[in-house]
Chain A
């Protein structure tokens, strides 16, 4: 029953896709100021401005403010040319300098970070290299290094985003892959029928999603991101929805209505063997695994209103976990396993993204936008992205898990929905 389809359309070159271009609408009250000096480069025009990308990356975290190049008093190329008082005068707390050289078709970017307040070098010169097509990857790598050195948290600038873009007249849906800053969008799939619920496999090599392309009925597919090769995993009667990878990547939890009404099942990806997890006349939907893979969180209206329940996969014991608000759905567990992020609605309010501390049960509303949906958490657990409405369009927004940073994407041509934040890549 294994069906492999090769999607040639992925490799169609020359299709220019609109970039997402996320903008910080609210950062931390007192962001760390950093000066990223334009990287020196002896050759002609480089296709990418690495220093600028690093500055944008750090600002995208909401925790940094990059000092504009036109305000800089000097452009030091090495430690001996760094005069701390120049940078102190600008209020800068950190200084990053770098240079790019080329050998054959490879580029080498060397960079050094200085602490302006303590007037010392933070780390000795580091070098990263790549091809011309990898210049942005090199910049994101530098951003990760700087971010982790200063904040102690692993950076997410080299991670990727998968999202669904929907167009009307003619109706079409695209599964898109881009850098986390929205640049370098690449189409993974285009169909005339709805695409839903993309999720990354834990190793970041595959994506599972729901497509209506066969007879306009939902089926779950697993697609290899690099090759485009894909397999249809389910084709059951009724609902085939909400795939979720187990942390070990060997199983997919999903919602199927093949036995009557929607229930949670677990499928072994290799053997296709199905295990039924829930059995209730209410709707059980939107499964997601706990961080340790021992249990599955899911949405159920068995208590009259949609709420989130947890089922232990070994004992099948079920327990309700959300009690705040009359609507809690679409759960996602933070990488440290401590927080549950979900869609929450309290009486008389709109749908917001909320985070609940799993142990204490305390719930905090994170988003200030309305009609929010589809939260997806960054692999470092510091931030999450979700879909919302702005200017009558579906757009993406991001918020830090402490709700101090808020980012909104300006409306684009198509509706953007269902973001899925990738894991860390090795």
Chain B
């Protein structure tokens, strides 16, 4: 009972909750000032109390949802990072394998890849083209992937996935140690698609290209710029900086 009164007093005293104040005023006894008094009618009191309870329940449910969504977001971020690291590892692994046995590995796949790429009809959607190219990349068919990404860019130079194709073309060039090509693809991505989600990744890799071609000052300034963001690329850039500078 005492608790109810205190709760009612707090609510009525709060200026934001005008609705509750009005409810009290319209009661038969007419409280006028809107300040809780010992003679507060039981119905109004319990009304206010039940509203507080309802609000508390509502807040609890919302809090629960927020906690769960935060948790899911955290999981997704982790999953994304894991996937990225996995892909990075697989591509790097493929590159070193290709470097040692270039002829045996790339030739036969190249022919089949080109065929599968050509098999896509002209009416194929941009997403289909990009996905086909990306699948080739995942299968470590780098030459096939390069051809497919270029084909995608030819048909959809400013498509939704154009920035991604630039990125992967740069990435493959980098793995093949063709740093001039890699630099071109990354630079084009950054200047032509400044708002693309792949920009931080491209900056990170461009920084690495600078580093690998001996332009350490340029590398350091670019990587430092990337490292200030909150992206996964920022963390990787930070790591690269600590490891190499």
B67 within 8 A of A: yes
Whether B63 lies near A303 (C-beta < 8 A) is: yes
Q: How many residues of B contact A (CB 8 A)?
A: 10
CB of B56 closer than 8 Å to a CB of A: yes
With a cutoff of 8 Å between Cβ atoms, the chain A residues found around residue B64 in the complex are 302-305, 307
- Say yes or no: A304 contacts B71, CB within 8 Å: no
Q: Are A303 and B60 in contact (CB under 8 A)?
A: yes
**B217 located at the interface, meaning its Cβ lies under 8 Å from any Cβ of chain A in the complex:** no
A-B pairs under 8 A by CB, number: 27
CA distance A320 to B65 in the complex (A): 12
Interface residues of A in 314-329 (CB under 8 A from B): 320, 323
B57 to chain A, nearest CB (A): 7
Contacts of B57 in A (CB 8 A): 304
CB <8 Å contact, B71 and A323: yes
A302-B63 contact given A260-B3, A281-B56, CB 8 Å threshold: yes
A282 contacts the other chain (CB 8 A): yes
Does B60 contact A304, Cβ atoms closer than 8 Å? yes
Residues on A with beta carbons closer than 8 Å to the beta carbon of B56: 281-282
A301 at the interface (CB under 8 A from B): yes
B3 and A304 contacting across the interface, CB-CB below 8 Å: no
* Chain B residues numbered 64-110 whose CB sits less than 8 Å from any CB in chain A: 64, 67-68, 71
B1-60: which have CB < 8 Å to A? 3, 56-57, 60
B133 to chain A, nearest CB (A): 35
Assembly CA distance A305 to B67 (angstroms): 12
The interface centre, meaning the residue of A302, A303, A323 with most chain B CB atoms within 10 A of its CB, is: A303
Tell whether B61 is near chain A: CB-to-CB under 8 Å.
yes
Contact of B3 with A320 in the complex, beta carbons under 8 Å: no
Is the Cβ of A302 less than 8 Å from the Cβ of B71?
no
Cα(A302)–Cα(B58), bound, Å: 10
Contact residue among B3, B60, B71 (Cβ-Cβ distance under 8 Å from A301): B60
The reply to whether B60 and A320 form a contact with Cβ atoms under 8 Å apart is no
**What's the nearest-Cβ distance from chain B to residue A335, in Å?**
27
- In the assembled complex, how far is the CB of residue B66 from the closest CB belonging to chain A, in whole angstroms? 8
Q: Given the known A-B contacts A260-B3, A281-B56, are A320 and B71 also in contact in the complex, defined by CB atoms under 8 Å?
A: yes
* Chain A interface SS verdict (over half): loop
Instruction: Please give, as numbers and ranges, the residues of chain B lying within 8 Å of A323 by CB-CB distance.
Output: 67-68, 71
Q: CB-defined interface of A274-285 with B at 8 Å, one 1/0 digit per residue?
A: 000000011000
Whether A303 and B3, one on each chain, are in contact in the complex, defined by CB atoms closer than 8 angstroms, is no
* Contacting residues, chain A, for B63 (C-beta < 8 A): 302-304
Smallest Cβ distance from A319 to chain B, in angstroms?
A: 9
Residues in B with CB closer than 8 Å to A260 are: 3
Q: Which residues of A contact B71 (CB under 8 A)?
A: 320, 323
Task: Assess the B60–A302 pair: CB atoms within 8 A.
Answer: yes
Instruction: Report the nearest A residue to B70, measured CB to CB.
Output: A320
Question: Whole-angstrom distance from the CB of B158 to the nearest CB of chain A?
Answer: 41
The 0/1 profile, CB within 8 Å of B marked 1, for residues 296-318 of chain A is 00000111110100000000000
Interface residues of A in 197-234 (CB under 8 A from B): none
Nearest chain-A residue to B52 (Cβ)? Answer: A281
How far does the alpha carbon of A282 sit from the alpha carbon of B61 in the complex, in Å?
A: 11
A304 lies within 8 A of B61 (CB): yes
Which of A301, A302, A304, A307 lies at the interface centre, i.e. has the most chain B CB atoms within 10 A of its CB? A304
Q: Which residues of A contact B67 (CB under 8 A)?
A: 303, 307, 320, 323
Q: How distant is the Cα of A307 from the Cα of B68 in the complex, in angstroms?
A: 11
CB contacts (< 8 Å) of B68 on chain A: these are 303, 323
Contact with A along B112-151 (1 / 0, CB 8 A): 0000000000000000000000000000000000000000
* Complex-state Cα separation, A99 to B82, whole angstroms: 60
Contacts of A320 in B (CB 8 A): 67, 71
- A302 vs B57: C-alpha distance in the bound complex, in angstroms? 9
CB distance from B65 to the nearest CB of A (A): 8
Which residues of chain B come closer than 8 Å to A282, judged between CB atoms?
Answer: 56, 60
Q: Distance in Å from the Cβ of B122 to the closest Cβ of chain A?
A: 48
Nearest-Cβ distance from residue B84 to partner chain A, whole angstroms: 19
State in angstroms the CA–CA spacing of A281 and B61 once bound together: 13
Distance between Cα atoms of A5 and B64 in the complex (Å): 45
Which residues in window 147-191 of B have CB below 8 A to A? none
Which 8 pairs show the lowest CB-CB distances between chains A and B? A303-B64, A304-B64, A304-B61, A304-B60, A320-B67, A323-B71, A303-B63, A303-B67
8 CB-based A-B contacts, threshold 8 Å: A260-B3, A281-B56, A282-B56, A282-B60, A303-B68, A304-B63, A320-B71, A323-B68
15 further A-B pairs in the complex, CB-CB below 8 A; given A282-B60, A307-B64, A320-B71:
A260-B3, A282-B56, A302-B64, A303-B60, A303-B61, A303-B64, A303-B67, A303-B68, A304-B61, A305-B64, A307-B67, A320-B67, A323-B67, A323-B68, A323-B71
